Homo-oligomer: A and B are copies of this chain.
Amino acid sequence: MNSTQDIRERFVAAAGDLTQTLGLGRNIGQIYAHIYLSPNPQSLDDLTASLEVSKGSASMSVRQLEQWGALKKIWVKGSRKDFYEAGIEFGRIIRRAMIDMVGRTAESADGLLDESEVWLKQRQNGKPNPDLAFLNDRFKHLREFHSRAQGLWNSPVIRRLLK
């Protein structure tokens, strides 16, 4: 490694790989890493120049990162461009990103569980049914884990990190 620029590029690449494996694209990670390691606020054109991404992609990525609190828009007098600097509260950022990504799907799964348990209760009057009993066990097990996970998510320990 010869210059600070080399370090930056390696971090940008690493962050890109990370967000890639996480299912977000490469640009998200690269753009955030670049701005996080830049002393000065960066404009869209800075991004398209430093990283090699299209302006459209930069615009969309920046907006998403902004929604997660990962970037903040900065006013710079004398220029009518939008500049961005990095938010550094990783915990809050991660929390918002997770909610944004799996939130809807998870909630829909929760709803299905509720619905299924109601349906099951309505059918548990008559003669004993092994199949219904088995499903009932599974749903109970799901509920227990869901409850524990919910509790953990709201626990002080987690809140301290993801605050």
A: residues with CB less than 8 A from B are 1, 4, 7, 10-11, 14-15, 17-18, 21-23, 36-37, 39, 88, 90-91, 101-102, 105-106, 108-109, 112, 115-116, 119-120, 130-132, 134-135, 138, 141, 145, 148-149, 152, 155, 157-158, 161
Contact = CB atoms under 8 A, between A and B. Distances in A.
Contact of A4 (B36, B91, B132): B132
Contacts of A36: 138
For this chain, the copies found in one complex come to 2
A144 B89 CA distance: 11
Nearest to A129: B4
Contact of A14 (B109, B138, B161): B109
